Structure 1
Amino acid sequence: MSVILLAGRKKAIGQKKKVVRKVGAAAEGREPTLTASWRLTANGRKANISFSRDNMNVYIDGQPIECVAYITDNGYDLDLIFNLGEKKGHIYSDVEGTEMTNYLFFDEQLVAQDKQTNLKSGHRPEEF
């Protein structure tokens, strides 16, 4: 499942708007709201990995790290690509209707996901 999901995301990333932001850039001078957070072991150490859709930053143990953001579907889909040591990280955040699902991949393997419901968005994905 994770290989199929990631293969589709790689194709879609090529069609996305690429955004590079300075690490730790705040959204409009305010503290960002964390969208999702996961606690796991990466590179032999425990780490808290989180991200914010407010400023498109990825945080490791509360500290922002360098990442590249790809945005598509009128800003409702977000891919964040980053490195954690020797591992390649990828966070994919998908909004459909009133639900948001956030996926965390390392080296193309799905390691965690977070689902949020009752959002205010009325977004529906485009039909292909």
Structure 2
Amino acid sequence: MSVILLAGRKKAIGKKRKVVKKVGVGCEGKEPTMTASWRLTTSGKKACISFSRDNMNVYVDGEPIECVAYITDNGYDLDLIFNLGTKKGHIYSDVEGTEMTNYLFFDEQLVAQDKQTNLKSGHRPDEF
């Protein structure tokens, strides 16, 4: 399933607004709210990977790293592309209605997922 999901995302990324996020940009003066965090082992090292939809930054062990953000669907879908050592990371965050699902991929393999419900958003991707 992860290959199918990622293949569809690659096609959609080409139609998105691209934002290059320099390290730490958008979080000056205030503590960011983390949308999702995952603890995992990659390349033999333990790491905590987090991201914030508020400032579109990716964090490794609490430190912001450089990433590229792609935004679509009026800001409700977010793709964050980054590198961690030799691995290519990809976080995809999808909001539909009152649910948000966040996916973490490394080298095009789904390694973690986080689902949040009861959001205040009434967003429906099919409605304009």
1:30 deviation in Å?
Answer: 2.3
Gaps of 5+ in 1: none
Paired positions, count = 127
Q: How does 1:55-94 map to 2 (within 5 A)?
A: 55-94=55-94
> What are the superposed Cα offsets for residues 19-63 of structure 1, whole Å, 9 maximum, x if unpaired?
112211234742210000000001110000000001000000000
Q: Match of 1:107? A: 107
What TM-score, normalized to structure 1?
0.95
Q: Match of 1:14? A: 14
Counterpart Cα distance in 2 of 1:120 and 1:28: 26
What TM-score, normalized to structure 2?
0.95
User: 1:81–1:89: 8 Å Cα contact kept in structure 2?
Assistant: yes
Q: Secondary structure in 2 aligned to 1:47?
A: strand
> What are the superposed Cα offsets for residues 50-82 of structure 1, whole Å, 9 maximum, x if unpaired?
000010000000000010000000000000000
Counterpart Cα distance in 1 of 2:83 and 2:91: 11
Q: Secondary structure in 1 aligned to 2:7?
A: helix
User: 2:67–2:82: 8 Å Cα contact kept in structure 1?
Assistant: yes
User: 1:59–1:65: 8 Å Cα contact kept in structure 2?
Assistant: yes
Counterpart Cα distance in 2 of 1:2 and 1:54: 26
Gaps of 5+ in 2: none
User: 1:73–1:126: 8 Å Cα contact kept in structure 2?
Assistant: no
Give the direction of change, closer, same or farther, for the CA distance of 1:8–1:39 in structure 2 (3 Å limit).
same
User: 2:22–2:65: 8 Å Cα contact kept in structure 1?
Assistant: no
User: 2:49–2:58: 8 Å Cα contact kept in structure 1?
Assistant: yes
